[in-house]
Amino acid sequence: MTEAFTCSGIAVVARPDRFAEVCQALGELSGVQVHAQDPPSGRIVVTQVAPTTTEQADGLRRIQQIPGVLAADLVYHVCETPAGPAGE
Amino acid sequence: MSCELSRREFVIASVAAATAAALRLPAYGETTEPVEGATWEKGVCRFCGVGCGVLIGVRDGRLVAVKGDPDNPVNRGLLCAKGYANAEIHYGADRLTKPLLRMENGRWDPNGKFRPVAWERAFAEMERQFKKTYAELGPTGIAIMGSGQYTIPEGYAAVKLLKAGWRSNNIDPNARHCMASAVAAFIQTFGIDEPAGCYDDIELADTIVTWGANMAEMHPILWSRVVAHRMAHENVRVINLTTYTNRTSDAADVEIVIKPQSDLAIWNYIAREIIRRDAVDRAFVERHCVFATGPTDIGYGMRGDLKRAFEDERDTLERERRVRLTREEAIAQRLDPDDPPVVEQKHRGSAGAHWMITFEQLREALEPYTLEFVAELARGDAEESLEDFKKKLELLADHYADAARKVVSFWTMGFNQHTRGTWVNEQAYMVHLLTGKYARPGCNAFSLTGQPSACGTAREVGTFAHRLPADMVVANPKHRQRTEAVWRLPEKTLNPKVGSHITKMMRDIEDGTIRWLWVQVTNPFQSTANANHWLHAARERDVFIVVSDVYPTLSCKVADLILPSAMHWEKWGLYGNTERRTQAWRQVVDPPGEARSDVWQILEFSKRFRLREVWGRQPVPGLEAPGFESGVLPDVLEQARALGYDPDATLYDVLFATEAARAHAWPDPVARGRKNCTVEAAGLDWFPEKALFQEYVQFGRGHHHDLADFDVYFRDDVHGLRWPVIDGKETRWRFNGEYDPLVSKDTPFEFYGPALKAIPRGTLDGPTSPEKVPLPGKARSSSGPTPRRRSRRTGNTTSGCAPAGCSSTGTAAR
């Protein structure tokens, strides 16, 4: 059996004075990878992998609670499994 | 396994690239679609009132991906944590897929267990129970509880069946709980519901103030726009007024922690400062506004008597009926602070009875709200020094008073579910109007909604006990006449007596005067205050409760019959968001099992009623209206014949499958091959959702609520349109002649809302003459000034008044 797998792309906005610190904290979260950084606008592109959508939403809240994060929003969410659609 | 891993890596890399591309960040990797073979459909999120554009990915009949719509101006490609659920909400293991009836020994039994039944059996029981109650109690004995999550066609079908077919006004949405105060203030101030401005104001504002709105967590996408605007502009300021430190404070320049309820006093302080500093936009105010106030002894929401009170509620009820003013309230009302009176709440039923006052009287009313007085009253953080708190209040007043700064005030339930929610909404308008900071780009006072179509359906369609579409009301004979004309009903079919609001429906169930209830798109036995009463009533009284839902809820648990409904992307729909933007989506997947759309359920059930069963003489206890016999709705069957209706025709024939409706053929090119579960289940060759919408738009056109045609909202290049839509163009700032074509040519601003546009003159102590003065084109506001519950001053101990508002003209100051 293949494991349940969902992946989301998240736009993070960090306070410019805490940008590096936020990037580092993001990189330390399980399932999260930092892909692109744009310090002038404070924006960071991350992906988050989690078994279920519920865990994705909880994970987003975890990102929002990092000190220095002003906003973290979902951009793209894939909720299929490698073998086919997720679900029951 | 390695194949799976590489698949994962591919998905991660492509999601990252797609995300960067959506944000228009410098090119990053290759933008390959992460989901192979999916087709995409545009639509709108259903999880709050912001109205974010969503692109939903479907493959093999299943929702497999969600993305923010980068072309939608509301959210520009972003979604919040709730957006994740757009697909998964459809696939919970406990989805309802069959009608469930409480049965024992093969028959309905209120104490039986839920058993799956066929739709035919479900509707037959529902019909039998309806007809039994209708025969005994008439139109007041039955009710529908509706929703701010109704799609526009659903709400419109429900209201038409109930008001035109069953001749009842007992329909009311859950939106009453959250938005009643916002609506009352819009109608009182502007004579029309919904805000003047729109989300564009965020990027045009110099100062954004949140009042009882934790936007960072509750409206994250709008908050992201606020944050981006703040970060891009050195001069922009964000101020968060809150009763506790929350995530909104993180990005705010100033956090002002206040005591609960003290916001009323703060608004009065700001208004006082504006007048004291001579910062009033006099040209605007004099031309476009009047000041008004109203009674302060308006009571609270609980029942007026003790007959159903639980023992431990009696003291609360007594305190609601006879209020001992606090020392601060006495000061605010200019009474003796050392001997605050007990005030009998005599205007419980007439809180909106406003009258006009002069600018001088407003100034007098605001006089007690000095910085010292308000700071003592409002400081919410005991650790903060009074001097520091005062500085913050002064700074807040500076932002509102500074003619060079454009200000947006946002609020949510911190205001709207306040014990004086209408007053505090009105006060916000008062301050914005005094300074001319309303209905201008970058200037707005904005109530944020919690449900996706509380505005577009509940309020605009009018799924309320007192309303008809497009802000009309059942008590107004002209409004009934107009509605009867659009619906092709005999004269006096519509019931002029306002029905039970959602809380009163619960009380009526408790009292045994409502005995048949249909709950649609809401979970009222979970969400209505004092639920302990209603849960008991639902199970113990003689009442048949039908709940249409997608999952088992607490309301399902107390139901007699549960009907399985289609979820969001399993049906066609349109929603209207907080900024007057109407958006649409197509059905992209099938509902599971025997779940059916709410539109299908309403239409199908309407087939079970013949005109002669409902359009004969009907008792309506308490009905008193010109042209109507006391307590009775007339028999309209003769007139119905004259209109060409057979008394044996069904409500389905007369209300829904009309010739005009059937002209909207299915299949329809707008569907682009997508399915329609309503059409399929009913075996139709016409398109009910489109027919309902096209009929509905007739109400608003030419009456300040103009919408575009159904098909327009589905165009690829349309991401919703903000009404009024005139000549195909949306309106961003209503009442402002530069932007709103409905404003008369000879005036820069016109508050043209027609409701409540005449009030008597008076003083701070009450109206001085019963004669009403017409106020065409003017805004007015009345606010409840005082600390907690009462507004200001009283000449005697039984009536006081609240300060009032004004309006503005657009010129000089900026």
- Concatenating the DSSP letter of every residue in B96-137 gives --S-EEEEETTEE-TTSEEEE--HHHHHHHHHHHHHHHHHHH
**Which B residues 23-82 touch A at CB under 8 Å?**
23, 25-26, 28-29, 34-35, 57, 59-60, 62-68, 77-82
Residue B676 to residue B596: CA distance in whole angstroms:
10
Across residues B607-624, what is the average pLDDT?
Answer: 98
How high is the pLDDT of residue B782? 67
Contact (Cβ atoms closer than 8 angstroms) between residue B275 and residue B281 = no
Residues B15, A47: C-beta atoms closer than 8 Å: yes
| Residue B466: closest CA among B451, B457, B454, B476 | B476
Q: What is the CA radius of gyration of chain A?
A: 14
In terms of Cα–Cα distance, which of B338, B77, B28, B130 is closest to A33? B28
B753 contacts B288 by C-beta, under 8 angstroms: no
DSSP secondary structure letters along B289-328: EEEEE--S----SS-SSSTT--GGGHHHHHHHHEEEPPHH
| Contact: A41, B231; criterion CB under 8 Å | yes
- Sequential DSSP letters for B586-608: ---SPPSTT-B-HHHHHHHHHTT
Q: For residue B210, which amino acid is it? A: T
Distance (Å) from the alpha carbon of A25 to chain B's nearest alpha carbon? 17
List pLDDT tens digits, range B352-379.
899 999 999 999 999 999 999 999 999 9
The whole-number pLDDT of residue B565 equals: 98
Cβ contact, residue pair A7, B227, below 8 Å: no
For residue B23, what is the DSSP state?
T
Euclidean distance between CA atoms B352 and B187, whole angstroms: 10
Nearest to A78 among B65, B79, B224 (CB): B65
Active site residues of B: 82, 178-179, 413, 450-451
Q: Which residues of A touch B84 (CB under 8 A)?
A: 8, 53, 56-57, 60, 74, 77
* DSSP β-ladder status, B342-344 and B237-242: unpaired
B589 touches chain A (CB under 8 A): no
Cα torsion through B745, B747, B753, B755, rounded to 10 = -120
Which of A:25-64 have CB within 8 Å of B?
33, 35-36, 38, 41-43, 45-47, 49, 52-54, 56-57, 60-61, 64
How many other C-beta atoms can be found within 10 angstroms of the C-beta atom of residue B250?
19
Q: Is the per-residue pLDDT at B800 higher than 50?
A: no
Q: Is the pLDDT of residue A84 over 90?
A: no
Q: What percent of chain B has pLDDT over 70?
A: 94
Residue range A24-48, pLDDT digits in tens: 999 999 999 999 999 988 999 999 9
Q: Which pLDDT value is given to residue B7?
A: 83
| Assembly ipTM | 0.93
The set of residues, in sequence order, having a beta carbon less than 8 Å from that of B422 and lying 6+ positions away, is B180, B181, B184, B185, B188, B351, B352, B784
Give CA angle at B458 (B456, B462), nearest 5°.
Answer: 105
pTM: 0.94
Type of residue found at B58: V
pLDDT band at A81 (very low <50, low <70, confident <90, very high): low
pLDDT of residue B30: 62
* pLDDT of B66 above 90: yes
Of the partner residues B18, B81, B91, the one whose CB lies closest to the CB of residue A57: B81
Interface with A, mutate which of B214, B221, B231 (most A CBs under 10 A): B231
Cα(B129)–Cα(B110) distance, integer angstroms: 12
Min Cα distance B155 → chain A (Å) is 30
DSSP H stretches of helix in B199-353: 200-204, 215-218, 220-232, 247-250, 263-276, 282-288, 314-321, 327-332
Q: Looking at chain B, how many residues does it have?
A: 814
CA distance A62 to chain B (A): 11
B694 pLDDT exceeds 90? Answer: yes
A53 and B11 within 8 Å at the Cβ level: the answer is no
The lowest-confidence range among B292-301, B581-590, B775-784 is: B775-784
Record: contact A38-B25, CB cut-off 8 A: yes
Backbone angles phi, psi at B279, to 5 degrees: -100, 10
DSSP string, B42-83: EEE--SSSS--EEEEEEETTEEEEEEE-TT-TTTTT-B-GGG
| Facing residue for A79 by CB, picked from B26, B64, B68 | B64
Residue-wise pLDDT tens digits, B455-506: 999 999 999 999 999 999 999 999 999 999 999 999 999 999 999 999 999 9
Report strand pairing: B779-781 vs B289-293: parallel
Q: Is the peptide bond prior to B724 cis by the omega test (within 30 degrees of 0)? A: yes
- Pick from B28, B34, B223: which is nearest to A71 by CB? B223
User: 3-state DSSP call for residue B444?
Assistant: strand
- Contact between B63 and A79 using a beta-carbon 8 Å cutoff: yes
pLDDT confidence of residue B354? 92
Task: Identify the DSSP state of A56.
Answer: H
Query: For the segment B719-772, what is each residue's pLDDT rounded down to a tens digit?
Result: 999 999 999 999 999 999 999 999 999 999 999 999 999 999 999 989 999 999
- Beta strands B472-473 and B467-468: pairing type? antiparallel
Residues B31/B15, Cβ–Cβ less than 8 Å = no
